[in-house]
Structure formats: structure tokens, C-alpha cells
Structure 1
């Protein structure tokens, strides 16, 4: 073995020795008493921690007890007891969205959009009105400026059939034109207030959560 190889291996041995000392031989500064104390503190802390949620004893089930007040309170409570997901506030929000969709879809004659939103009886009436317009080559445009108010006025549950009535007050403009584009009725520049009561129904035993419009009458 030549002198270069001897120097190389000697240097390598010194390097490895230094690395081993840094990793294994360097004093940690912790005594046996320190280690014992840390282990004891960790054990005490673990014993004081609460059990994870999945490990806790089961709680007694509490019955659904939602109740609502007001003129429709009794009916709303009955509906909620059969359908725990029912929330009057969320229902009203959905009804307002349905109001806008139905009014604009009816004006456009969009039967496909109306079908899932209307009961069979109302769909039949709307379809007849749309067909009458089409037979006369009339087109209708309705623009909703705003829904001034939407309040639940009545609610009931009969034979699993839930019904909720909402009193709507809306400002809108509407115009009907003939095939030549001439105005037959209405004016888009003039707003009018429309006050109506819309009735929505749903079978609470049905997995389908959608409510359908089952009736409209003047307020």
C-alpha cells in the first residue's frame, strides 16, 4: 500500500471518528434524574387529558323538540317533527327563489323549467295558459324588480302531506306582444305591486325534498 492510500484511510478514520463522536458521544446535558422526571411528567399529563370524542361514553338520545310560534306555529312544528331537516327560514329563502323561477319561466313559456316546481294540477293550468298564448302568437316578458316581502301565513300537516302558504308582495313589470312585436298588454317601464298567496306542498315520507307549488290566489 503506497503512502497516499495510507494517508487517505487515516484521514477517513479520523473523519468518521469525529462524526460518531458528534452524534453518539456528545454529552446531552441531561442526567438520569432529568430523564426520570420528564417521563413522570409525560405520564401525568397523559392521565389528565380527556378521552377522544369517539372514546367517550354514549350520551342519551334527546328527542327532536323544535317548536315554532306565530299564526303558522302549530303547523310548522308538526311538519318539523315529521321532517327534522325542515327549517322555516331556509324554506322561505327557497320559496323566494322558486317564486322568481316560476314567474319568469311562465312568462317565457318554459315548460321544462316549470315541471319540477309545480304540482300536476297547477302544471296543467299553466300549460293551458302557455298554449293559449302560443296559439295567438303572443309572447310575454316579465321582469321582477324586487320581492318586497315573503312571509309564512299558514302551515299544516295532513296524512303526511305538508302544506305551507307564503304571502308574497312583489314589484314587477310585464308586457305581452303579438307576432309583429306590438304591445298588446302591459308596460315594462311601469312597476306594479302584486300581492298573492302561494301554497307549497310536499309528502314528508318521500325521499325527494323538493316542494311544489300547489296553488296561487290573490292576497
Structure 2
């Protein structure tokens, strides 16, 4: 899961900050609740004013729990942020950019990623990966446990990767060949603090 990147440190930090402020947050102003007298006038008594539709799908109960703990949580905004996180993390890992990875990964995941980066550097290897497209990103599980929100997203992406040795000889992969990669990424954040950051806690191939 590697990708060539030209992101500078300043640009990476900027986009990381934007990711934090977008992931799982509603933007703009919410529609004001309809006054009871207006509901009576329009006959729209079947809908409680100011309430959003219930979540649907296999993760609905977990999303409801998270939304109850964080009233600004929006799963659609979360998925958009998760797609950005996927690209940023894959690019940073490929480039060996620890600075970008640090705020995006849980400690145990960061340890594994930095160990792999160090081992690759010791061998003199470089990796270039190109994400052709993220075909889908879907929430498959969600839950809230002791104020920790967890959301699993299944990504399906078309990726090409290539590894070269210290002499720039290709030793693995082929940038001319796209592979379909399916992975489950687990994100977590505390809902009982003012910190809006979600971090990646687990990646599993499907």
C-alpha cells in the first residue's frame, strides 16, 4: 500500500488540518425547526420538526449512538473525509513522510508504518504508487464504547505500485498494471473531548 507523492511538509500539514475539521462534521447552518403552529397549518404533523431521518444500513445503530454523543456528526461528511485520509496516508507512507502520518495514525499503527519505512530505507528501496481511483468507500460497522467512537470503512481502490532498489532497478510491481485493492480501515475518536480528530487504528485486507 504505497504511493509516490510530491506533497511538501507545509501543504501536507495544511490538508491534514482541513481533514480534521471536515471528517465527520456538518458544514453550514442547520435548518431551523418548524414551529408547531406552522406544522398545524401545513398539516405536516407526521414529521417531528427539526429531526433528521434515521440512519440506515448495517451500521445504523452504531451511527445513531455516535450522533447522540456528537450532535454535529454527519456520516456523509465522515466518508468524504475518510476518502481524503485514505489518499493522504497511502501517499505519505509511500514517500516515507512520517510527519504527515503522525497525527493521522494511532500509536500502534504508526509504529508499524515507521518500522516498514525504516526497513525500506535501510535496503535503499524506493516505492512509487499511483491511485487511479477510489471506486467506493462504505461504512460497514460503527459503534460507541466508553465514549470512543469507532467506524469501519471498506475501501475499494484501483492502485498501481512499483518498487526499485538502490540502483533504480524495478524489483517488484508494475506501474502499468492496476490492481483492485479492497481493505477495511477502522477509525476512532473520543467523543468526550473537544478534539475532533479521528485516527486510523487498524487496516485489514479483504
Render the CA deviation track for 1:83-136: whole Å, top value 9, x for unaligned: 011100000000000000001110111000111110111001101110110110
Q: TM-score, normalised by structure 1?
A: 0.70
Give the Cα–Cα distance (whole angstroms) in 2 for the partners of residues 91 and 218 of structure 1.
21
2:60 aligned with 1:73, yes or no? yes
Higher-RCO chain (CA-CA 8 Å, sequence separation at least 6): 2
Higher-Rg structure is 1
2:158 aligned with 1:171, yes or no? yes
Q: Displacement, 1:181?
A: 0.4
Higher helix share: 1
Q: Which runs of 4+ in 1 moved over 2 A?
A: 62-67
2:114 aligns to what? 127
Structure 1, gaps ≥5 residues long: 1-61
Aligned residues: 158
Q: Answer yes or no: is the 8 Å Cα contact 1:65–1:81 preserved in 2.
A: no
Q: Answer yes or no: is the 8 Å Cα contact 1:78–1:157 preserved in 2.
A: yes
Give the Cα–Cα distance (whole angstroms) in 2 for the partners of residues 176 and 72 of structure 1.
37
SS at match of 2:102: helix
Give the Cα–Cα distance (whole angstroms) in 2 for the partners of residues 121 and 207 of structure 1.
23
SS at match of 2:161: strand
SS at match of 1:137: coil
2:197 aligns to what? 210
Q: Displacement, 1:138?
A: 0.6
Render the CA deviation track for 1:16-68: whole Å, top value 9, x for unaligned: xxxxxxxxxxxxxxxxxxxxxxxxxxxxxxxxxxxxxxxxxxxxxx8977631
* CA RMSD after TM alignment: 1.4
2:183 aligned with 1:196, yes or no? yes
